[in-house]
Amino acid sequence: MTADTHSVLSGLKPLSRLDHPREMIRQFTPNWFAATMGTGILALALPQVPGIGPSLKPFGEVLWFFNIALFALFAGLYGARWVMFGHEARRIFGHNTVSMFIGTIPMGLATIINGCLAFGIARFGNGIVPVAQVLWWIDVAMSLACGVLIPYLMFTRHEHSLDGMTAVWLLPVVAAEVAGASGGLLAPHLADPHAQLVTLATSYVLWAYSVPVAFGILAILILRMALHKLPHESMAASSWLALGPIGTGALGMLVLGADAPAILAAHGLADVGSVAQGIGVVAGLCLWGFGLWWLALATLITIRYWRAGVPFNLGWWGYTFPLGVYTVATFRLGTTLNLGFFGIAGTVLTVALAAMWLLVGAKTLAGAWRGNLFVSPCIATPN
């Protein structure tokens, strides 16, 4: 058998690049949950396309169910790693980069929670709302923990430098504002007025817990790229991550502002609700404009990387969720302001998101089949 033939046949064998199938568990990292973020946000964006949204909703629902299965699979694999290889799994907390991806776990869960509201109510009835509520509070707890514990490790244990900084620093911090935006979607579906108020207030706190810190990181990131230029090609997709907190921040302000008048009026705070609504619209529009600048910049950076040839890695999922949440914010601005431009812009962005999801998904499936995507850097570089 020639070397070429052996290479072809081995490529047909699952996990052929691993020494043993259990290496899939041993090498499993939270990076994989970024795939649930990208899949979930596409599912949520499809029904919002003006005109054809109702026709696309069944596809979004299928993606939501698929995303639930994907999240359950990844949770099982990562849980198994902690059970079987706990001494190695713990090393993630000392790794400068991989530890940041812990934030993808609550963000992936948030897309499933939002799907419970977007698809689950029509499919299963209002009985799914309490399930979404319980999952949301779990998501809140995880997001709060990620948002402070990972930065604490950065300040006390990790070794970082300005020239080595990338936008992955945002991942543990942004989880809280994603939970906050999800709370804005959840609150109107709750039957208890007190629960609505608690959810709304908590969501505003989550937004404030995350967005100012994320924007501080963005300021440092701009300085880093001006002084040290673009990061290594292995981090090519990280340029899109900055669009995540901007788009989520805009979406959060819009949905929370829309909730505020009715919820706060029921508690004698009608004037505050009206102010919150106005702030939500203005802040959402301003943040969308900031996101437009970063979208254009990230596009130019990506063209430069791709012209040079960029090898695929799981980081490519960074092309999807940030673009997706900015797309959903775009649709929300269109319905809030009743301006057709945002519907058209959101449709174009949805097409780009779907194309990127298909590309990255196909490459991920191929890499997962071969097994070469199961790599844990925190094992390769003990700490």
Tens-digit pLDDT profile for residues 193-236: 999 999 999 999 999 999 999 999 999 999 999 999 999 888 88
- Using the predicted structure, report yes or no on whether residue 4 has a pLDDT greater than 50: no
Q: Which residues contact 24 (CB under 8 A, 6 or more apart)?
A: 15, 18, 77, 371, 374
The answer to whether 100 and 168 have CB atoms below 8 angstroms apart is yes
The answer to whether 81 and 89 have CB atoms below 8 angstroms apart is yes
Which among 238, 215, 373 is positioned nearest to 318, based on CA atoms? 238
pLDDT at 8 (0 to 100):
42
Q: What is the residue extent of each domain of the chain?
A: 18-361
- Using the predicted structure, report yes or no on whether residue 35 has a pLDDT greater than 60: yes
Residue 146 banded pLDDT, cuts 50, 70, 90: very high
The secondary structure of 179-195 as a DSSP string is HHHHHHHHGGG-S-HHH
- Using the predicted structure, report yes or no on whether residue 7 has a pLDDT greater than 70: no
Give the integer Cα–Cα distance in Å for 252 and 180. 7
**18-361, CATH topology level:** Glycosyltransferase (1.50.10)
Give the integer Cα–Cα distance in Å for 133 and 156. 35
Q: Which residues contact 356 (CB under 8 A, 6 or more apart)?
A: 319, 320, 323
Q: What is the mean pLDDT of the chain?
A: 94
Coil, strand or helix at 36: helix
The answer to whether 64 and 112 have CB atoms below 8 angstroms apart is yes
Residue in the structure block whose two tokens are 């399930």 = 131
pLDDT at 13 (0 to 100):
84
- Using the predicted structure, report yes or no on whether residue 142 has a pLDDT greater than 70: yes
pLDDT at 379 (0 to 100):
84
Which among 170, 151, 139 is positioned nearest to 40, based on CA atoms? 139
Mean pLDDT of 169-194: 98
Residue of 309 and 248 predicted with greater confidence:
248
pLDDT at 351 (0 to 100):
98
pLDDT at 11 (0 to 100):
55
- Using the predicted structure, report yes or no on whether residue 12 has a pLDDT greater than 90: no
pLDDT at 378 (0 to 100):
87
Residue 310 banded pLDDT, cuts 50, 70, 90: confident
Residue burial 200-210, b: 16+ Cβ < 10 Å; e: rest: bebbbebbebb
pLDDT at 271 (0 to 100):
97
Share of the chain above pLDDT 70, in %: 96
pLDDT at 381 (0 to 100):
58
Residue of 379 and 160 predicted with greater confidence:
160
> Each residue of 81-136: pLDDT tens digit?
999 999 999 999 999 999 999 999 999 999 999 999 999 999 999 999 999 999 99
